[in-house]
Structure 1
Amino acid sequence: MKLNQIARLTPDTTTQYAELKALGFNAAPAEDLTTLVQSDLPLLFPEAYSAAAKREALANIAIDETHTLRDLVEAPAQWLNATTFYAAALQLLGFEPFTDYQLSDPASFMAATQLPAVETIATSADFLQALYLLLTTRTKHLVNYLDDLANRGFFAHYQDGKETPTYLFFNGKAQAVFDPRKLVREVVWVESDLDTDHDGQRDLLETTIFRPAATDQGVKMPVLFTANPYFHGTNDEAVKAITHVPDPHLAVKTVSHTKADVTATPAEPVTLPHKAIEQTSTIAEVYADEQGIYSLNDFFLSRGFVTVYSAGVGTRGSDGLRTTGDPAETASAVAVIEWLTGKRPAFTTRDGHTAIKAWWCNGNVAMTGKSYLGTLSIAAATSGVEGLKTIISESAISSWYDYYRENGLVVAPGGFQGEDADVLAVDTYSRQKRTGDFLRVKPKWDQALAEIAAGQDRTTGDYNAWWDARNYRNNLANITCDVVSVHGLNDWNVKPKNVIKLWQGLQALPIAHKLFLHQGQHVYLNNVLSLDFTDQMNLWLSYELLGVENGAKDVIPDLTVQDNVTPQTWHHYSDFGAPAADHPVQSLTLDQATGRGASFVDDATAIFTAHHQTSDDFEAEIVRPGKNSLYNDVRLWLDLPAFGNEVTLEGIPTLKLRLWIDQPTAIISARLVDVGDAKRFTPNASVIEASGYQLGYDFKADRIVEFGEGTESASKLITFGHVNAQNPTNAYEIQQIEPGKPFTVDFELQPTHYRLPKDRHLALIIHGADMAQTQRPTTITNYHIDLQASILHLPLRTDEH
């Protein structure tokens, strides 16, 4: 086990003493050691209310094989030293003697686990330093030790006797001094500038608020806002009816476009009447019956952060229609932020005229969320809306074309074949769950859905103005808030291109941007044991939203990447792909390829159908080495020369192919594979503790998970890419393919960071249709690759970790 910790600060001793005193510890270094030990150590058992109960708790923590913490408290001068302190401290952190470590040698385990320690504990100053360090150290249960104490009631009475509750900051972070069980749950309706259902009235957006009760006592708090189109449910049965069947035909394109053709024109603003305000109130009229959906948001409730959720236009309780990623969805999220910061009205009911303000908000907002939720965080950030201080977007889309399309092809996110923008619109149109409301707007919804289907263009797969309106990277220059991005290097749902292109586009802006890349798929990061992501976000949000000068921008690395070979290891860099040098493979001609070219026949759809395979089956088979793969005869497998030493790929591999085919169009796919028998990381994290991640005192809990090695395998997919043969350079200009005549395509594979041990090598697989990702044409196509005229560029990181 390795407990990597970045967010732990080391302030000067004067600050440490002051912070310990604020927690209630005796922190006077001039006090004799016995007095400090006897007053402070019993406080580490907040679940024990009486002195007798605390003595029993102390007696259950061993300091060696014959003595306990109670012995140490009763006679510190006799028993206190670094070994006995840390023998006990490890138990306080959740570790078990004889199973995890030996009582006589806690230091070895602490070094292996990366837990900090002081070398000598002999004086009062030593003891206070060790106590401060212990409180900031991570536990076996993900959170740091002070958070663990808070979960056991350490701050249960912190606000007692205060007319107005107050925040508490320790080690640069907001502490859990607000009772998460005492929440005001309410719903309001924010007035937008939209009329997506074309009824001549501004769309009202249902917005759910969970705020600590301390706001009713005068505490103004910042907001964690999650724009969540799934918040009020999904329409799974309706989705089944509309999901597309992968097209068995690949269209021959006849029309090429210019950049001007595919550039979206902003819609003219619509003049709409404001909803009349007849009276105002500070009290909501509707109780919020939905639950929060993100454990990181829940974690911050007890730390004095309000959490707000809004599903947006076309969802249950709101007006409007679903539009899948367009500017209306951006405006929908922005409207909620503007209400939170006092610049827009909201109402206590959907039909009424009583206005209500977010009078409890301090004017600072962060957006959080994964996937569609994180996507709308990016969208809102590109508006430059005032009051949005930062976003924490995970597994998020930065261009919807890169989600549902690729280089002139219709592709499926994460192998979810048949999903598209119209399918997602239906899935999130929870307005239909209230039948009366749904029936009133059904004709307009049917028309809107038809417009989405036409705009997305499943026939050509080309980039167009409809997709351009959903490309947030067009508007990155508007971003004024700081950005935290999180993404899985094995996320084939929202593919890594989305986050790396965002990262590259933000580099010139005067904002801070932090990027976390993990070895998982489409998942959150906050409950992964080996990284203190939750603690880092506490440092970050305390700075961004509460104005704590904690150095968060400097403490948190710009780029954190999880290693793919050594478990529980994270590397830190200043930039992605830099410094790096291209490693061009000048020719793909290898010993096993005879002559100048290499050929294969794409009949993958027939094989896939005959064997009744799934997308997952195809993914496993296409990268299986040798003749044991069902698809061995419908691919070109090229083993690349071994590097002779360990290398790290980091960046965007590019592939230039010179080829000819016997059809007027074709799908060209490429996969870069790690080859060699080895135990590799599984793309799904394992559950370490089902409810181990405690989110507050007597409150919710989440799973703790970790990525680790699976069973031995012969190969693993590193990255892939696809291109329509008719789109050699971009997704809107086409070339006419003459069967039998050579042509060239040049395309990118998905960005990657991948450490390749010296005893393994790379293979490049070139094939046609991808059963998991692309359309599934039944036309049999012959491919002939000119290997000598084809080049693979592999970006290699050349600096040390």
Structure 2
Amino acid sequence: MLRRSAVILVATLAAVAGAVSPASAGGPRHVRGTETIPVYDYGTAIRETVWVESPLDSDGDGARDRIAADIVRPREARTRVPVVMEASPYYACCGRGNESELKEYAADGTVSLMPLYYDNYFVPRGYAFVGVDLSGTARSTGCEDVGGPAEVASAKAVIDWLNGRGTAFDASGARVTASWTTGKVGMIGKSWDGSVANGVAATGVRGLETIVPIGAISSWYDYQRYNGILRTREYVRYLHSYVNGRPAEACADELAAMRAASGETTGDFTAHWAERDYRTAARNVRASVFIAHGVNDKNVSTGQFGLWWDALAKHGVERKLWLFQAGHEDPFDVRRAEWVRTLHRWFDHELHGLRNGIDREPRATLETAPGVWTDERDWPARGVRDRSLPLGDGTLGAGAKGRGVTKTFTDESLREDALVANPTAVVPGRVAFLSAPLTAPLRISGEPSVTLRIQVDKPTAALSARLVDYGTGTRVDHFRSEGVVNLATESCWGAATATDDACYLDTTEVTATADHAVLTRGWADAAHYRSLRFTTPLEPGRWYDVTVPLNTYDVTVPAGHVLGLVIGQSDPQFTVTNDQNATVTLDAGRSTLTLPATGAAVTAPTTPQSITTTTLPGAAERRATDNTPVVPLR
């Protein structure tokens, strides 16, 4: 929605981009030295829609799916231009960005408002922008299969067409080609949009030069299941229905097949999930990958980026990383000016081939405290090694005396606040283990896990684990609006037309001071201890080793703070399960926390401790999350 006059927009754009000056002699108009500059008129840009033919017929109507792609490109460009592309299921149903913008169309059917600022900012700089409606959404045919082959193929087909390998039609049915582009494509998007970018990159499609997944999914099983435990019931149906743009009957068969294949009653990792696990195809990735993720993202959990990052690193994929303290947010709403500058330089390097040096700069940019940023050579942090920390009689760390110590607890379905509060008190339904106060800062960077030696009186138990920082600090309050709130002011990040500007409300991080904070979480169904592909019912009286992976995290715990590990069972705030009321006996001496860390030694306390806590800020927001289906949207 237009909020500024064109005059103000031009002035703001000049302030952001710098004064426009002539391009280097002999080069494209939009290149000055090692950067692209805004020389093309956004107001007269060519706007067109094409329908690209997918190789699949996902709705079974006898015709290949047709994928709507809305294009904005510079009219005056005398050279071919690369493409910034966002493929999304949200353009018609739900909106994009902090202000939930939808696509809007002119009378001739061409897009008059493209959500977000990408087209406003990059088209004047010698890029085209393409907004793709994923299969079964908005104006595309086919069916939305929630991270599956049809969804990925629909976005990939557009890249193939941009590179002369596919077929597309205009509104009249005439074939159209993309002679105006170099074929080099950079995909970007937050959440579901970034997830499909991961999926397309995993196909190895030629022409996709880079992706920028923000708070994105790399395994849809890990998004809808937590190691055999359901996040919520009927999640496949819910997500499909949320974004479906077709009549219900058009995709009823596809939806029924997905529901049957997803292992709803078992939590198993089935073939349905295997084809939605992009990490296993990391070896195919040709594109560079620039990941951005909030370390306190409870919607798309941090393991989604952490395990994807590890897989890409294993195969030598060029990559870059931004981590920030908020939850499920876009860095545009966390560190706006620096994010736009970095994204601009990244696309200039990857799509225009400009040697601006960004590939030689530190690979990782991290927010280490509210508003405090640092660049590091790589990630995880330098010097990090996995430490095996033993458990004892309520103690954690080197020197813990756990031999012969057992802890028995019966499920109480505790909410997180109750689970981690007052860790030295006896609370039914949980066991807590505490380190001695740290003698120096401790950097945790990577994917922790806890291996528990247990007996269970039922065929299975739902297990939960929390790593907790017991110590007072001012932290980003990620339970309140994901840690970011809107201000009354706004700023503009590109050129405008009468119907499409690039002005957005400014934002700021919101903080809270508390005497403890949950750092990272993990869940597992004990009967999946052998494999996620099948269950093995537990026998009463028999000991089992069950590993509970915790989500990827990066934090420096200050000296003087106490590190805590809290184990519970069913978790109404984050999961749903019928496996409740089990009694678990834990052999502490044969249980360990694996912690990727550097810095202070984590030792067990030698004298009894007494730690009391106050209620964490954001209690109302925490209550509101109980068993609520989450859409990877905002």
Instruction: Give the alignment's TM-score, normalised by structure 1.
Output: 0.67
8 A Cα contact 1:603 1:781, kept in partner: no
Separation of aligned partners in 2, 1:447 and 1:643: 57
* Residue of structure 2 in register with 1:700 after alignment: 502
Cα offset for 1:760? 1.2
- Comparing 760-769 with 541-550, greater Cα deviation is found at 541-550
* Aligned counterpart in structure 1 of residue 120 of structure 2, from 287, 291, 298: 298
* Aligned counterpart in structure 1 of residue 47 of structure 2, from 185, 197, 219: 185
8 A Cα contact 2:89 2:138, kept in partner: no
Separation of aligned partners in 1, 2:61 and 2:496: 47
Cα offset for 1:501? 1.1
Separation of aligned partners in 2, 1:796 and 1:510: 23
Q: Which amino acid aligns with 1:647?
A: L
Task: Report the 3-state secondary structure (helix = DSSP H, G, I; strand = E; otherwise coil) of the residue aligned with 1:569.
Answer: strand
Task: Report the 3-state secondary structure (helix = DSSP H, G, I; strand = E; otherwise coil) of the residue aligned with 1:515.
Answer: strand
- The yes-or-no answer on 1:462 pairing with 2:264 is no
Cα offset for 1:295? 2.7
Q: Which amino acid aligns with 2:216?
A: A
- The yes-or-no answer on 1:195 pairing with 2:57 is yes
Gaps of 5+ in 2: 1-5, 96-105, 601-634
Task: Report the 3-state secondary structure (helix = DSSP H, G, I; strand = E; otherwise coil) of the residue aligned with 1:649.
Answer: strand
- The yes-or-no answer on 1:324 pairing with 2:139 is no
* Aligned counterpart in structure 2 of residue 423 of structure 1, from 223, 227, 238: 238
Q: Deviations over 1:558-605 (max 9, x none)?
A: 1222103x633224132315431222222332369997112222122x
- The yes-or-no answer on 1:511 pairing with 2:377 is no
* Aligned counterpart in structure 1 of residue 205 of structure 2, from 385, 410, 418: 385
- The yes-or-no answer on 1:623 pairing with 2:483 is no
Q: List aligned pairs for 1:325-474, cutoff 5 A.
A: 325-349=147-171, 352-411=172-231, 417-418=232-233, 420-432=235-247, 442=249, 444-474=250-280
8 A Cα contact 2:135 2:143, kept in partner: yes
Cα offset for 1:181? 2.9
Task: Report the 3-state secondary structure (helix = DSSP H, G, I; strand = E; otherwise coil) of the residue aligned with 1:302.
Answer: helix
* Residue of structure 2 in register with 1:241 after alignment: none
Separation of aligned partners in 2, 1:534 and 1:524: 11
* Aligned counterpart in structure 2 of residue 483 of structure 1, from 277, 286, 289: 289
What's the RMSD between the two structures over aligned residues?
3.1
Cα offset for 1:310? 1.1
Separation of aligned partners in 2, 1:150 and 1:653: 41
Q: 1:510 to 1:679 in 2, by over 3 A?
A: closer
Q: 1:531 to 1:783 in 2, by over 3 A?
A: farther
Cα offset for 1:234? 5.0
8 A Cα contact 2:365 2:373, kept in partner: no
* Aligned counterpart in structure 2 of residue 526 of structure 1, from 322, 332, 356: 332
* Residue of structure 1 in register with 2:572 after alignment: 771
Cα offset for 1:166? 1.9
* Residue of structure 2 in register with 1:794 after alignment: 595
Q: Which amino acid aligns with 1:705?
A: T
* Residue of structure 1 in register with 2:623 after alignment: none
* Residue of structure 1 in register with 2:554 after alignment: 753
Q: 1:503 to 1:320 in 2, by over 3 A?
A: same
Separation of aligned partners in 2, 1:531 and 1:717: 30
* Residue of structure 2 in register with 1:680 after alignment: 475
Which one has the bigger strand percentage? 2
- The yes-or-no answer on 1:311 pairing with 2:165 is no
Task: Report the 3-state secondary structure (helix = DSSP H, G, I; strand = E; otherwise coil) of the residue aligned with 1:763.
Answer: strand
Identity, % of aligned positions: 28
Cα offset for 1:677? 2.6
Q: Which amino acid aligns with 2:193?
A: L
* Residue of structure 1 in register with 2:30 after alignment: 167
Q: 1:577 to 1:745 in 2, by over 3 A?
A: farther
Task: Report the 3-state secondary structure (helix = DSSP H, G, I; strand = E; otherwise coil) of the residue aligned with 2:242.
Answer: helix
| Bigger CA radius of gyration | 1
Separation of aligned partners in 2, 1:47 and 1:313: 39
Q: List aligned pairs for 1:148-159, cutoff 5 A.
A: 148-149=14-15, 154-155=19-20
Cα offset for 1:765? 0.9
8 A Cα contact 1:519 1:707, kept in partner: no
8 A Cα contact 1:728 1:747, kept in partner: no
Which one has the bigger helix percentage? 1
Q: 1:538 to 1:451 in 2, by over 3 A?
A: same
Instruction: Give the alignment's TM-score, normalised by structure 2.
Output: 0.83
Q: Which amino acid aligns with 2:490?
A: S
* Aligned counterpart in structure 2 of residue 715 of structure 1, from 486, 496, 516: 516
Separation of aligned partners in 1, 2:496 and 2:468: 47
Task: Report the 3-state secondary structure (helix = DSSP H, G, I; strand = E; otherwise coil) of the residue aligned with 1:797.
Answer: strand
Q: 1:777 to 1:735 in 2, by over 3 A?
A: closer
Q: 1:203 to 1:567 in 2, by over 3 A?
A: closer
* Residue of structure 2 in register with 1:554 after alignment: 360
Separation of aligned partners in 2, 1:400 and 1:358: 33
8 A Cα contact 1:187 1:286, kept in partner: no
Separation of aligned partners in 2, 1:693 and 1:477: 39
Q: Deviations over 1:208-252 (max 9, x none)?
A: 11223324xx342211111101112159xxxxxxxxxxxxxxxxx
Separation of aligned partners in 1, 2:137 and 2:152: 15
* Residue of structure 2 in register with 1:22 after alignment: none
* Residue of structure 2 in register with 1:600 after alignment: 409
Task: Report the 3-state secondary structure (helix = DSSP H, G, I; strand = E; otherwise coil) of the residue aligned with 2:161.
Answer: helix
Cα offset for 1:474? 1.8
Separation of aligned partners in 2, 1:146 and 1:230: 29
Task: Report the 3-state secondary structure (helix = DSSP H, G, I; strand = E; otherwise coil) of the residue aligned with 1:210.
Answer: strand
Cα offset for 1:294? 2.8
8 A Cα contact 1:224 1:368, kept in partner: yes
* Aligned counterpart in structure 2 of residue 210 of structure 1, from 66, 69, 72: 72
Gaps of 5+ in 1: 1-45, 49-140, 236-283, 412-416, 433-437, 608-617
Q: 1:174 to 1:678 in 2, by over 3 A?
A: same
- Comparing 474-483 with 665-674, greater Cα deviation is found at 474-483
Task: Report the 3-state secondary structure (helix = DSSP H, G, I; strand = E; otherwise coil) of the residue aligned with 1:457.
Answer: coil
Q: 1:150 to 1:586 in 2, by over 3 A?
A: closer
Task: Report the 3-state secondary structure (helix = DSSP H, G, I; strand = E; otherwise coil) of the residue aligned with 2:355.
Answer: coil
Separation of aligned partners in 1, 2:199 and 2:502: 30
* Aligned counterpart in structure 1 of residue 444 of structure 2, from 621, 631, 649: 649
* Residue of structure 2 in register with 1:665 after alignment: 460
Q: 1:458 to 1:214 in 2, by over 3 A?
A: same
Task: Report the 3-state secondary structure (helix = DSSP H, G, I; strand = E; otherwise coil) of the residue aligned with 1:445.
Answer: helix
Q: 1:687 to 1:199 in 2, by over 3 A?
A: closer
Cα offset for 1:366? 0.6
* Residue of structure 2 in register with 1:243 after alignment: none
* Aligned counterpart in structure 1 of residue 538 of structure 2, from 717, 737, 746: 737
* Aligned counterpart in structure 2 of residue 691 of structure 1, from 486, 490, 498: 490
Q: 1:761 to 1:148 in 2, by over 3 A?
A: farther
Question: Number of residues paired by the alignment?
Answer: 571
Q: List aligned pairs for 1:134-149, cutoff 5 A.
A: 148-149=14-15
Q: Which amino acid aligns with 1:429?
A: N
Q: List aligned pairs for 1:277-292, cutoff 5 A.
A: 286-289=108-111, 291-292=113-114
